[in-house]
Amino acid sequence: MTGPPRTLIVCDFDGTVSRKDVGFNLLSHFSGGRWSELDQDFVDGKIGSREAYRRMIDRLSGIEADYRRVARELGEMDPDFAAFVAFCQQDGMAVKIASDGFGLYIRLFLEELGIRGVEYFANEILFEPGPALKADFPFASAECPDCGCCKQELVRKFRDRFDRIVYVGDGISDRCAVPEADLVFAKRSLYHHCLQEGLRTFFFRGFSDILRVFRLRLQGVIFDLDGTLLDSFEPIFRSFRHTFQTLGYDLKLLEGKRNVVGSTLEESLSQLVDPPDVARAVQIFREHYRRTFADGTRILPGVEETLEALSALGLPLAVATNKNGPMAREILEHLGLAKYFREIVGAGEGFPPKPAPDTLLEIARRLGLPPAGIAYLGDSPLDITAGRAAGMETVGIPTGYYPAADLGKEKPTLLCHSIREFIPVAGILQDGIGKEVGSKQ
């Protein structure tokens, strides 16, 4: 490769590269637990980490060898981090560590793992002559008094040298940096922060998850229908009301039942009417819905733009829905969307409904694609469960009946807050995250 790498991965250290928070545990050990109160003030937002570190380290003493020994005992490195770094470096990507912890133990663990070529940015503990220790913050922000190491400023500086920046983190000190990145991998409190702030986010438990996504070459995309591509809530509930009125059921039974839309019609009605009435209710519903679905069914914002963009990438597209298959095809034809899909498979066509993975696996077979090369986009926990069971990468989109927080509990591979957000990600994953790019994403 000629020239500097165009893709940069910035990794937090404590809780990310190290499974444990080495800095917190180290200070707790040498302070006899007195660090916990200061750390709680930091978590509560009363003071920044810089002030917390300064107050505590000024009270400590000791020699560097003792701190290195204890840090080694307290640390637990992610077992796949070294493999991740090797993969990135082999593909010409740069990896840097940005930590609000301390270089003391980052150096130690990089050495022990035999990792070279990874630059790190962190606070330092100064072991000066005499018993007292001092804290140094070489990467603090002059404008913000909070963090010892300002990761936001670092990422902004890196932007001039890299076209694509991937951020990997888990905690409070990462929050200001993630809006500056092109792709974000998050866990723990950082993941929940990204959901709350509407930031597109990959979830990871460890670097094995990140490696899987980096190795992915996206070959196809399957979509759920209702709540993902279409807003069909009103015509569906209108038909539920008509069915109840026809059978003489109290309409109050439908109150608070918005999420039954994601199930098959038979399953939904079996939750609402007496067993002897289910078959008749299904017939009444379908007859009414077929006559009236056009009044109120609409394409969700960004869907046509997304389908055009993914088609332009040459990705085969399909639909997997718990809606009756022929009805789903009729609706998509009516709305002018059927032309985008090679396969549209729904309920009543020989496969158990989602969350069973059978429909998704059958579509993969028809497309001639490995499940691991397919992304499945849906708006419900049921979709994420089905996609994961099929061995596909799952993408949650809270445009239907479940908010982002509910989808986040299911930990999809990626959570987008609109379907449009998947367009640039699809292009990146089709070529591979480390592919050189000519312009910023």
Domains defined along the chain, listed by start: 7-215 (3.40.50.1000), 220-228+300-431 (3.40.50.1000), 233-292 (1.10.150)
CB 169 within 8 A of CB 12: yes
Distance CA 166, CA 182 (A): 6
Between 208 and 1, name the one with better pLDDT.
Answer: 208
Cβ neighbors of 38 (< 8 A, separation 6 or more) are: 47, 52, 55, 56
Query: In which band, very low, low, confident or very high, does the pLDDT at 188 lie, cut at 50, 70 and 90?
Result: very high
State residue 166's pLDDT score: 98
Distance CA 27, CA 13 (A): 16
pTM metric for this prediction: 0.92
State residue 421's pLDDT score: 98
CB 326 within 8 A of CB 300: no
Beta-bridge partners for 376: 222, 394
Catalytic annotation, pick one of 224, 226, 231, 379: 224
CB 76 within 8 A of CB 19: yes
pLDDT tens, residue by residue, 33-45: 777 778 788 778 8
What average pLDDT score do residues 117-141 get? 92
Active site residue 100: no
Q: Give the closest residue to 345 by CA, choosing from 318, 315, 307, 379.
A: 318
Could you tell me how far CA 293 lies from the centroid of its own chain? 34
CB 345 within 8 A of CB 386: no
What average pLDDT score do residues 50-75 get? 91
State residue 129's pLDDT score: 77
Query: In which band, very low, low, confident or very high, does the pLDDT at 46 lie, cut at 50, 70 and 90?
Result: confident
State residue 86's pLDDT score: 97
State residue 437's pLDDT score: 54
